């Protein structure tokens, strides 16, 4: 990971889960960091945990649904670090509800955080990234190329992100910009506990077995390696790769298997 040493990396959603793991693993590579989240106290705790005086680590309280705050984040990064080499759009939320029961405001909120947050941050950083011939990264999901029942809002936001980044990649393909769509599988984090239900309240419980899911630190390393290698697309685990390839050749078979699996979840919003 020597190629990341001295790089200036902005990470959104850095206070927990994959974002926190990315922050810690990137610091081990010797990268300077700008950590963004609504939870400034958790960002400061991560900064203290890293505790490396050789690195510049800036914590910026940021709500990615606010365009001005996203612009401020990138401005501070440029002012303090002199450039932005890598932007990792990691901030995101999930939801879990049947489509006929979910409040439209829930779908709008998920899209606002996941998709528009990525748009606002990427748009604010693009000039700096073009100058540095840097990396623009989206932490998407396997759900970004294969939807999941009960996660209509989440899947829609990830599909939108994938389309956005494919378009950006082609638009700037001759200007040195690296664009990565990272698609982790199920990862142990707080995203399922904080997933929104049909009325917008937090789910508070995970419908999956968190102990069998990928570790956030392993996913973070996979993403950083993909950035190092300037890959266009990345799947982090065996499950995601199976879904990707089976969907190409046997989509209906895969959909039946997914439906059956989701219907067996505790308190599933999907009828078997």
Domain extents for the chain? 2-243
Can you tell me the distance from the alpha carbon of 8 to that of 57, in angstroms, rounded to the nearest whole number? 10
| 51 is an active site residue | no
pLDDT value for 191: 78
Q: Which of 158, 188, 189, 206 is catalytic?
A: 158
Q: What confidence score (pLDDT) does residue 271 get?
A: 82
> Could you tell me the two tokens for 139?
């932490």
Given the residues 140, 156, 157, 206, select the one marked as catalytic.
140
First to last CA, the chain: 46
Q: How confident is residue 187, by pLDDT bands cut at 50, 70 and 90?
A: confident
Looking at residue 193, what is its pLDDT? 78
Give per-residue pLDDT as tens, 218-266.
999 999 999 999 999 999 888 889 999 999 999 999 999 999 999 998 8
Question: Can you give the pLDDT at residue 266?
Answer: 86
Q: 192: pLDDT confidence band, cut at 50, 70 and 90?
A: confident
Q: Residue 161: its pLDDT value, please?
A: 98
Provide the whole-model pTM.
Answer: 0.94
Residue bearing tokens 């984040």: 73
Q: What is the pLDDT of residue 204?
A: 76
12-43 per-position pLDDT tens digit? 999 999 999 999 999 999 999 999 999 999 99
- Confirm whether 109 is a catalytic residue: no
220/92 Cα distance (integer angstroms) = 15
- What CATH superfamily classification does 2-243 receive? NAD(P)-binding Rossmann-like Domain (3.40.50.720)
Catalytic choice (97, 122, 141, 154): 154
> Are 166 and 181 spatial neighbours (Cβ–Cβ below 8 Å)?
yes
Question: Quick check: 182 and 90 in contact, CB under 8 A?
Answer: no
pLDDT at 255: 95
Q: Over 90: is that where the pLDDT of 194 sits?
A: no
Distance of CA 211 to the CA centre of its chain: 21
Active site residue 244: no
């Amino acid at each position: 990971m020597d190629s990341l040493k001295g790089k200036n990396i902005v990470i959104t959603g850095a206070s927990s889960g994959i974002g926190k793991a990315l922050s810690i693993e990137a610091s081990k590579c010797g990268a300077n960091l700008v950590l963004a989240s609504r939870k400034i106290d958790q960002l400061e705790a991560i900064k203290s945990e890293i505790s490396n005086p050789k690195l510049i680590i800036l914590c910026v309280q940021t709500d990615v649904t606010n365009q001005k705050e996203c612009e401020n984040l990138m401005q501070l990064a440029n002012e303090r670090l002199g450039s932005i080499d890598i932007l990792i759009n990691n901030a995101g939320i999930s939801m879990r509800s049947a489509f006929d029961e979910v409040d439209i405001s829930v779908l709008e909120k998920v899209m606002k955080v996941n998709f528009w947050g990525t748009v606002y941050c990427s748009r604010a950083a693009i000039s700096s990234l073009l100058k540095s011939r840097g990396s623009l990264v989206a932490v998407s999901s396997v759900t970004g190329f294969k939807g999941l029942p009960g996660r209509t809002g989440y899947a829609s936001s990830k599909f939108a992100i994938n389309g956005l980044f494919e378009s950006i990649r082609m638009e700037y393909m001759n200007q040195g910009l690296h664009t990565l769509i990272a698609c982790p599988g199920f990862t142990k984090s707080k995203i399922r506990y904080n997933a929104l239900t049909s009325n917008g309240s937090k789910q508070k419980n995970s419908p999956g077995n968190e102990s069998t899911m990928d570790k956030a630190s392993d996913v973070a390393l996979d993403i950083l390696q993909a950035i190092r290698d300037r890959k266009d697309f990345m799947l982090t685990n065996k499950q995601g790769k199976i879904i990707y390839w089976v969907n190409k050749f046997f989509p209906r078979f895969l959909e039946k298997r997914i439906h059956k699996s989701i219907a067996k979840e505790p308190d599933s919003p999907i009828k078997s």
